[in-house]
Amino acid sequence: MAKRDSPLDPPSRRVFLLGLTAATGLSVVPEAFAATPDPVTAEAAPIQAAAAGKAGSEVDAVMALLTARYDSYLQAADLTAIRHGVERVHRNVNELLKVPIHNGDAPDSLFIPDGL
């Protein structure tokens, strides 16, 4: 199998505009937080296709939820942009899931700065 990016390989986050967009405080930041596409090998392609299908169905489910909640505020053209945002969230979460954490690893604590 050809070498693939490790879960935390720099290109997944060290992308152009990361500094600018992170610095501007963008939340669901478009390109900056998007993972750089991995090189697709013949061996990996079916796996990625399956993953993409799964991701697509999850995005569809989220879009159905958002449409149910906010349909009266949204135009058809808005849904395309929102879908891109949901896809980015999905990619971000996948990046987070690559970091090894364990059962007892608690979320970072809020509001106790003296414990920093």
Q: Which is nearer to another protein, 50 or 93 (CB)?
A: 93
Q: Which stretch binds another protein (CB under 8 A): 37-45, 47-55, 107-115?
A: 107-115
- The answer to whether residue 76 forms part of the interface with another protein (CB under 8 A) is no
Q: Which two tokens stand for residue 31?
A: 């390109």
Establish if 82 lies at the interface with another protein (CB under 8 A). Answer: yes
Alpha-carbon distance of 42 to 36, in angstroms, equals: 19
Asked whether 37 and 9 are in contact (CB, 8 A), the reply is no
Which residues in the 13-42 window bind another protein by CB under 8 A? 13-33, 36
Q: Tokens representing 19? A: 């500094």
Would you count residue 11 as binding another protein (CB under 8 A)?
Answer: yes
Closer residue to another protein in complex, CB, 52/65:
65
Residues that bind another protein (CB under 8 A): 8, 10-33, 36, 62, 65-66, 69-70, 72-74, 78, 81-82, 85-86, 88-89, 91-93, 95-99, 101, 105-114, 116
